[in-house]
Structure 1
Amino acid sequence: MTDYSSIAGFRPAWLGDGRKKLLIDGQAVEARSGETFKSFSASTGELVAELALAGEADVDRAVKASRAAFEGPWSRFKPAERQALLLRLAELVDAEFDDLAMLDTLEMGRPITASKGLRGMLQRSLRHFAGVASAIHGQTLGNSFPVELLSYTLREPVGVVGAIIPWNGPLFSAAWKIGPVLATGCTVVLKPAEDAGLSALRFAELCHEAGVPPGVVNVVTGAGATGAALSAHPDVDKIAFTGSGPTGQRIVEASARTFKKVSMELGGKSPNIIFADADLDAAIPAAAMGVFNNSGQVCAAGTRLFVERPVYDEVVARLASFAQGLKIGLSLDPSTQIGPLVSQRQYERVAGYLALGPQQGARLVTGGARVTEGGLDKGYWVEPTVYADVADDMRIACEEIFGPVASIMPFDSFDEVIARANSSRFGLAGGVWTKDINKAMAAVKRIRAGSVWVNHYFAMDPAVPFGGYKMSGFGREGGSEHIDAYLQTKGVWIRTE
């Protein structure tokens, strides 16, 4: 019988002795200070690795390497050559995917089956970026200038990109930041989250194995101060950030000093609306996993579940039953559906909200407790939790919890629920469940969010834009706008007479 209580038999060979350096200018280097930090398994509490702690001097070194590469050999790569590199990278990532997925599971605790389930999306994304590399183009434009002039545009890489990614999806996030860099001819300094940086570091190494020149892709591991140094660096042309709103605000403030180009995918408190005529057999499990997937550590989680009153009691009971049937377990166990929260810090945050729910009058239907039995005492498991009769102004309904907590609220009319759905300061995503196509299309038009799913929840594809309204950020990842964010537009005029 396989023992999933220790990571000892599951460590990829790449981890070696567990000491990992920064990746700067194609070389693995120690931090100038010699400082390191430790990464622990969210599931077992064991030490996974010790990583170099990048300081301001290391960030500066990485940015200089990135600038030199941007202005040097990388600038002479043709679109077809960048495309070929991305296709080789896709092959290398696919060959090593099981180990890359394991790194995410070992660090941040996502169940291994869920980590491995990202293979298809990762491959589609890298191959999408490869296709884009040879399809970037400007336009020939008519003009009304009195002298005969030809006018057209050039699309050029923005330059050095500072990319900062979160811990809840490190491998995929790294690909979604590095992919457009390689497609457009930019260079990048990537800063992963301190709780989960290993898969991003290995992904960057695979970029070099695919033939990406030194300095094009650099990785500086560290904590918040590392990201702050990158955001404020005067020679970074663009910041691409995925993470929390407060951190995003600090990055915008730092970027203002040099007018960096900035794109931000921030948090959410997404509404998921179930009308009385919905197919409940489809809606209930999808709505449940729209909250509980990745232990609720998903920016677009549909945690505000609005249910039309005629089916309200049924949905509450069936969703609670579904939650109770999910298997909570060790991350390495292939049968596990709900893994741990990423850290003690995150557990304390979620536990605070679990206490607030009943205090503010919400009715606890199921869950609400930490799980420590069955060998789960060394991580941070929380039962999938369902609160009913939640008021819109309760904190569990207003604030992003980033844990497996659903707030269910009844509604009586279409206009009412749309107004309540839009009352949040966030606007990342939303869901609509109904058999009435006219009602669905009316809801899609009126919900103020960057993505809306109808009779589904949380589909993503590299060809389709994803991003937020309001406090959920600005800019898009996926679709043509993703690539646009890494390009500048130059207007050109040529006298022809």
Structure 2
Amino acid sequence: MSLIKFMVAGERVEGAGQPFRSVNPATGETNYEVSGASKADVASCVEMAATAATSLQWRNLKPHQRASLLHRIADGMMSRAEDLAITQSRENGKVIAESRKQVSNAAAVFRYYAAACETVGGELTPSRGDYLSMTTYEPYGVVAAVTPWNSPLTMEAQKVAPALAAGNAIILKPSEVTPTVAILLAEIAQAAGVPAGIVNVLTGTGRETGLELIRHPKVRMISFTGGTATGKLIAQTAAERLIPCALELGGKSPHIIFADADLEAALDAVQDGIFEGSGQSCVAGSRLFVQRSILDEVIARLQDRVKRIQVGMPFDPDSRMGPIASFQHRETIERFVASARDEGGEILAGGKRPDDRELEKGAFYLPTLITGLSGGARVCREEIFGPVLVILPFDHEDDLVAQANDTDYGLACGLWTPDVTRAMRVARQIDAGTVWINTYKQLSVSTPFGGFKSSGLGREKGLAGLRLYQQSKSIYLGGMSI
């Protein structure tokens, strides 16, 4: 069986840590073994990244030169688009059409931050004497980026591109479920001319590899996307070390339909918002709030729609939902649904594995609708990260806002009504970093993204996403009469 090696300073490295298997969730078969990075491997990688980050070759690059590198990475991604898409779908089960779309989106992230390199500068600040004062923005040095398994193509691009644009070196620690996309991205960066040691990848477990990485004294900033529990542990480590961290964490996003909504458009968005990617999305609209006067109609129409969702193999062009990304995570989803039954919930659709014998070896799970629960039920409060939608009624705006905000999370929200005044009024009252009105899951690299409450700290994307990887410096030039 082939062994996948990780990437340090432009070289493939076989680590001294525990190797692990990459498993295809659609078939249960082993894709390959992956090398694990030990404590010594982490230390060696960080040292090389720190040297590269401070080298004149990297630090003295002009903005337009750094922009050219980012454009060449984007070109390289598109030239290997099918390889990247297939790799992601093989490792996490995402349907191939979605993976292909994510390659294009990831390349666009590099192009956006290439443009930012050439257009975003420092500032001259108003002086209060005979001097010139200014603010410049400097890189941190070595950035550790820990990424999740649900959409590594886009998540890794959203960290690597701004970190490089800001002038840092970066070390990616991808999920054990999806270890290979990051390695391919590092290869593409090297081929684009990025100096050795600037883009590195360490594979391994969170305990053996990830923990050593974020604790290393020469790692000066941490960027993490993943579960809230892990995010809190990373925040504790960052606080102890007095270094900044960016955390894009979990969600329990409310999706709201008022009685006057365009139901067909709203239901399209509800369906995609929870079942695209098998519900494995931080912004999945997992709590559907429906105005009581249309509740029965919405439930009936959703039941009909869910029955027609094609669950199948990731590379089948007719498939609209692939498997859950791992067998372990499918068991977690099954426990959540069992808890809903125990608490008196009614399973209106799904709630089990498919009966199709062709899918029985994979980690498949049917799209699931649940009703009959209060907002205090476990499936209404905890992030399931799967294709499970809980339907809850509301009577009026105050009732809705109270229910929607009754959660530890605050990542996203969607609401449907043609009444713009009401839409804006409710949007302002919802505790969420992103609110969609008469649309859902529209994301732009130019618009900052992040969460309130336990959904995270900091903002990725946009110019805020560039500044995330920089620290400001004030410079005073004396003897200037202005």
Is the TM-score greater than 0.5? Answer: yes
Given candidates 95, 106, 110, the residue that maps to 1:126 is 110
Instruction: Please give the secondary structure, in 1, of the residue aligned with 2:204.
Output: coil
Instruction: Please give the secondary structure, in 2, of the residue aligned with 1:237.
Output: strand
Output the amino acid matched with 1:308: Q
Output the amino acid matched with 1:205: E
Given candidates 235, 251, 261, the residue that maps to 1:278 is 261
Q: 1:201-240 residue pairs with structure 2 within 5 A?
A: 201-225=183-207, 226-240=209-223
1:113 and 2:97 correspond = yes
Q: CA deviation at 1:143?
A: 3.2
User: Counterpart of 2:235?
Assistant: 252
Output the amino acid matched with 1:202: L
User: Counterpart of 1:175?
Assistant: 157
Q: 1:365-380 residue pairs with structure 2 within 5 A?
A: 365-380=348-363
Structure 1 runs of 4+ with >3 Å offset: none
CA RMSD of superposed structures (Å): 1.2
Is the Cα contact below 8 Å between 1:285 and 1:319 reproduced in 2?
Answer: no
Could you tell me how far apart the structure 1 residues matched to 2:23 and 2:445 are?
31
Output the amino acid matched with 1:88: R
Is the Cα contact below 8 Å between 2:103 and 2:154 reproduced in 1?
Answer: no
Given candidates 454, 457, 475, the residue that maps to 1:492 is 475
User: Counterpart of 2:81?
Assistant: 97
Output the amino acid matched with 2:30: L
Instruction: Please give the secondary structure, in 1, of the residue aligned with 2:155.
Output: helix
Could you tell me how far apart the structure 2 residues matched to 1:474 and 1:69 are?
28
Given candidates 39, 45, 54, the residue that maps to 1:62 is 45
Render the CA deviation track for 1:340-371: whole Å, top value 9, x for unaligned: 11112101110001111121122211110112
1:423 and 2:438 correspond = no
Greater shift after overlay, 416-425 or 371-380? 371-380
Is the Cα contact below 8 Å between 2:21 and 2:32 reproduced in 1?
Answer: yes
Given candidates 130, 136, 155, the residue that maps to 1:148 is 130
Output the amino acid matched with 2:173: K
Is the Cα contact below 8 Å between 1:113 and 1:335 reproduced in 2?
Answer: no
User: Counterpart of 1:263?
Assistant: 246
1:482 and 2:465 correspond = yes
Could you tell me how far apart the structure 2 residues matched to 1:399 and 1:320 are?
23
User: Counterpart of 1:8?
Assistant: none
Could you tell me how far apart the structure 2 residues matched to 1:202 and 1:120 are?
15
Q: 1:5-404 residue pairs with structure 2 within 5 A?
A: 18-33=2-17, 35-72=18-55, 73-144=57-128, 147-225=129-207, 226-404=209-387
Q: Percent same amino acid among aligned pairs?
A: 39
User: Counterpart of 2:441?
Assistant: 458
Instruction: Please give the secondary structure, in 2, of the residue aligned with 1:272.
Output: strand
Is the Cα contact below 8 Å between 1:168 and 1:298 reproduced in 2?
Answer: yes
Could you tell me how far apart the structure 1 residues matched to 2:158 and 2:229 are?
22
Instruction: Please give the secondary structure, in 1, of the residue aligned with 2:136.
Output: strand
Could you tell me how far apart the structure 2 residues matched to 1:295 and 1:236 are?
35
Could you tell me how far apart the structure 2 residues matched to 1:444 and 1:101 are?
35
Q: CA deviation at 1:334?
A: 1.4
List alignment gaps of at least 5 residues for structure 1: 1-16
Could you tell me how far apart the structure 1 residues matched to 2:103 and 2:224 are?
23
Could you tell me how far apart the structure 2 residues matched to 1:378 and 1:112 are?
19
Q: CA deviation at 1:372?
A: 4.7
Is the Cα contact below 8 Å between 1:39 and 1:49 reproduced in 2?
Answer: yes
TM score, norm. by length of structure 1: 0.94
TM score, norm. by length of structure 2: 0.97
Q: CA deviation at 1:240?
A: 0.4
Q: CA deviation at 1:213?
A: 0.4
List alignment gaps of at least 5 residues for structure 2: none
Q: CA deviation at 1:47?
A: 1.5
Instruction: Please give the secondary structure, in 1, of the residue aligned with 2:33.
Output: strand
Could you tell me how far apart the structure 2 residues matched to 1:372 and 1:317 are?
23
Instruction: Please give the secondary structure, in 2, of the residue aligned with 1:333.
Output: coil
Is the Cα contact below 8 Å between 1:39 and 1:195 reproduced in 2?
Answer: yes
Could you tell me how far apart the structure 1 residues matched to 2:191 and 2:108 are?
20
Output the amino acid matched with 2:231: G
Q: CA deviation at 1:149?
A: 2.0
Could you tell me how far apart the structure 1 residues matched to 2:13 and 2:213 are?
18
Output the amino acid matched with 2:67: Q
Render the CA deviation track for 1:32-75: whole Å, top value 9, x for unaligned: 34x42110101011211211101111111111111000111211
Could you tell me how far apart the structure 2 residues matched to 1:81 and 1:372 are?
55
Output the amino acid matched with 1:243: G
Could you tell me how far apart the structure 2 residues matched to 1:166 and 1:321 are?
33
Instruction: Please give the secondary structure, in 2, of the residue aligned with 1:82.
Output: helix
Instruction: Please give the secondary structure, in 1, of the residue aligned with 2:357.
Output: coil
Is the Cα contact below 8 Å between 1:389 and 1:410 reproduced in 2?
Answer: no
Could you tell me how far apart the structure 1 residues matched to 2:20 and 2:350 are?
34
Q: Aligned pair count?
A: 478
Output the amino acid matched with 2:99: S
Is the Cα contact below 8 Å between 2:77 and 2:103 reproduced in 1?
Answer: no
Q: CA deviation at 1:120?
A: 3.3
Could you tell me how far apart the structure 1 residues matched to 2:316 and 2:85 are?
14
